């Protein structure tokens, strides 16, 4: 089961992983309704290295980005769900609109986002300047939290 880290704890753990020669992969998102697309992206991200960090938007950050009806699931429960996934080694929260500051502190070896964000990957400049790699992974067709939410609302009697 993955571990929840505070920022200072994550930076310290990152240093330990670096010293141990481990390749650290970082990705982020809201993960409001965990679906197969999320799981497959996390598994593919984890396959790129030895440690996968998943940074989750806080509830306040999700509400700013997605609107007042979101998140549907609290950050505590979202964290509990993703930590149960074999692919996720570490979870951290960020309250900003993007994880750029957290990424700059952690400086992962590989930064991963879904291809839907290929036009703007927060932290790209920092990771590449430090010699890291940025990867945009193809999305699993047919899965989107926003579309799932719309479909559920459309099915209401």
CATH of the domain at 145: 3.40.50.620
Please report the sign of the dihedral spanned by the C-alpha atoms of residue 89, residue 1, residue 72, residue 95: negative
pLDDT reported for residue 56 = 98
Q: Phi/psi of residue 95, each to 5°?
A: -100, -10
Q: Which has the closest alpha carbon to 53: 81, 83, 75, 78?
A: 83
pLDDT reported for residue 150 = 77
Instruction: Return the bridge partners of 57, or none.
Output: 94
CA distances from 153 to 63, 85, 147, 157 (A): 18, 28, 10, 9
How many whole angstroms separate alpha carbon 21 and alpha carbon 19? 5
List the domain range (segments joined by +) for residue 94: 3-154
How many whole angstroms separate alpha carbon 16 and alpha carbon 10? 10
Q: pLDDT tens string for the chain (157 positions)?
A: 899 999 999 999 999 999 999 999 999 999 988 999 999 999 999 999 999 999 999 999 999 999 998 898 999 999 999 999 999 999 999 999 999 999 999 999 999 998 877 788 999 999 999 999 999 998 777 777 777 777 777 888 7
Tokens standing for residue 146: 């926003």
pLDDT reported for residue 12 = 98
pLDDT reported for residue 33 = 85
pLDDT reported for residue 86 = 97
pLDDT reported for residue 75 = 97
How many whole angstroms separate alpha carbon 136 and alpha carbon 68? 29
Domain count, the chain: 1
């Amino acid at each position: 089961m993955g571990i929840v880290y505070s920022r200072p704890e994550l930076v310290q753990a990152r240093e330990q992983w670096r010293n141990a020669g481990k390749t650290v992969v970082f990705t982020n998102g809201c993960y409001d309704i965990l679906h197969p697309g999320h799981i497959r992206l996390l598994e593919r991200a984890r396959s790129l290295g030895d440690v996968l960090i998943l940074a989750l938007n806080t509830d306040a950050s999700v509400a700013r980005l997605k609107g007042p009806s979101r998140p549907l699931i609290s950050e505590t429960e979202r964290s509990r769900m993703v930590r149960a996934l074999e692919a996720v080694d570490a979870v951290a929260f960020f309250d900003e609109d993007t994880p750029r500051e957290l990424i700059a502190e952690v400086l992962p070896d590989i930064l991963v986002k879904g291809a839907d964000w290929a036009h703007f990957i927060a932290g790209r400049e920092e990771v590449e300047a430090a010699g890291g790699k940025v990867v945009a992974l193809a999305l699993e067709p047919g899965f989107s939290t926003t579309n799932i939410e719309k479909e559920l609302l459309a099915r209401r009697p």
